[in-house]
Amino acid sequence: MNVKKERSAIVVSGLLIGVIAVGLVVLGNPANMGFCIACFLRDISGAVGLHQAAAVQYIRPEIPGLVLGSLAMALVKKEFSPRGGSAPISRFVLGFFVMIGCLMFLGCPFRMILRLAGGDGNALFGFAGFAVGILAGVFFLNKGYSLKRTYKQPAAEGGVLPAIMAVLLALLVFVPGLLHFTEAGGGPGALRAAVWVSLAAGLVVGALAQRTRLCMVGGIRDLVLFREPKLILGFAAIFLAALVANLCLGKFAPGFAEQPVAHTDGLWNALGMFLAGYGCVLLGGCPLRQLVLSGEGNADSAAAVLGLLVGAAFSHNFGLASSAAGPTDAGRVAVVIGIAVVSVIACANTFGKKQ
């Protein structure tokens, strides 16, 4: 596939993904939340009892769908490649704090695009912070940052996270009594498309993201590093398709106040996404990309996904997550700590090793 074909493929995929995201909202997901990796992992964390925030508990089938869709595509294309051993605990910690940042903003980079496409002006602050966070990460990349090489692993190691996802899906379908569910009218966790619709959407988007390497962080990173717009075209295509779909369906509501599952504190929207962008560059990709790489057998990305999941639980157990009322004091402190911890990891893996 030459560069021109790669660009075409990612634009077409982005357009399709944007439409699917708005379609999920039409079919029951929360507004501007057709997809949100952070929110959906947070809901899963609650569904299995890792936190007790009753408003956000549900096994979102989109997440297992993304991982299994990526796995299926990787198997078909003979790209399933179990590997790992590149600083898994550091990746877990980075994933943990990326989630703290996302839940300060109330969305992952994917939802940030969908919020922009829905007219949510608060996401502009998030986008600005996200871009600056990526630049901070790129600074360390250029100075020598590395979490060291990966090594080939047994197939079973690469299959662990996809297997966990399959089990979560099986619990939802066959033994839902074991899980926690947000009651009807009880919050965003109660707003959901039908299981099979969500699963199908996840499978399709996971497969497309595996083929195109779609990554919300990689788009800005590659533009800065190489002046290569390929990945950011996917980003732009999702925005464009979701914007047009929202306009056609009367779901575009420009403004700042009373946006769905959002708050209006610009500074902390920006700082939350700064932390997310910064951490994601050091991880090598956004939360969506971590799920997709896990589906390809990357155990290091699986460690990052588990960090995201545990970060979500901590966010709700310790009152770190924002709400429509705004950020909490504990959340502000956690974001500052997160920026410090991510900086320590960046410095230790840039300057604290033999060159």
Partner 1 sequence: MTCIATFYSHFGAIRFKKTCEGMGWPARLMPVPRNLSSSCGTCVRYEGECPAVIPEEVEQIAVLEGEGYRPLYRAENS
Task: Point out which residues bind partner 1 (CB under 8 A).
Answer: 1-3, 6, 74, 79, 81, 83, 86, 141-152, 210, 212-213, 215, 218, 222, 225-226, 228, 230-231, 284-285, 289, 296
Q: Exposed/middle/buried for 267, CB within 10 Å: 0-12, 13-18, 19+?
A: exposed
Q: Can you tell me whether residue 57 is helix, strand or coil?
A: coil
Nearer Cβ to partner 1, position 171 or 213? Answer: 213
Task: Determine the Cα–Cα distance for residues 77 and 107; give it in Å rounded to an integer.
Answer: 32
> Alpha-carbon dihedral of residues 273, 113, 226, 207, nearest 10 degrees?
110
**Alpha-carbon separation of residue 129 from 47, 234, 312 (angstroms):** 30, 20, 20
- Three-point CA angle 340, 102, 66, nearest 5°: 125
How near is the Cβ of 17 to partner 1 at its closest, in Å?
Answer: 17
How near is the Cβ of 32 to partner 1 at its closest, in Å?
Answer: 27
Nearer Cβ to partner 1, position 53 or 73? Answer: 73
Nearer Cβ to partner 1, position 3 or 257? Answer: 3
Kindly report the three-state secondary structure assignment for every residue of 246-314: HHHCCCCCCECCCCCCCCCCHHHHHHHHHHHHHHHHHHCCCHHHHHHHHHCCEHHHHHHHHHHHHHHHH
Are 221 and 289 in contact by the 8 Å Cβ rule? The answer is no
Are 90 and 306 in contact by the 8 Å Cβ rule? The answer is no
Nearer Cβ to partner 1, position 84 or 187? Answer: 84
How near is the Cβ of 5 to partner 1 at its closest, in Å?
Answer: 9
Nearer Cβ to partner 1, position 61 or 285? Answer: 285
Nearer Cβ to partner 1, position 221 or 251? Answer: 221
How near is the Cβ of 55 to partner 1 at its closest, in Å?
Answer: 35
Nearer Cβ to partner 1, position 46 or 297? Answer: 297
Q: Fill in the DSSP letter of residue 182.
A: P
How near is the Cβ of 144 to partner 1 at its closest, in Å?
Answer: 4
Task: Determine the Cα–Cα distance for residues 252 and 15; give it in Å rounded to an integer.
Answer: 17
**Alpha-carbon separation of residue 266 from 216, 253, 260, 272, 347 (angstroms):** 21, 18, 16, 10, 28
How near is the Cβ of 151 to partner 1 at its closest, in Å?
Answer: 5
How near is the Cβ of 33 to partner 1 at its closest, in Å?
Answer: 26
Task: Determine the Cα–Cα distance for residues 328 and 321; give it in Å rounded to an integer.
Answer: 7
Are 281 and 134 in contact by the 8 Å Cβ rule? The answer is yes
Nearer Cβ to partner 1, position 329 or 355? Answer: 355
How near is the Cβ of 238 to partner 1 at its closest, in Å?
Answer: 17
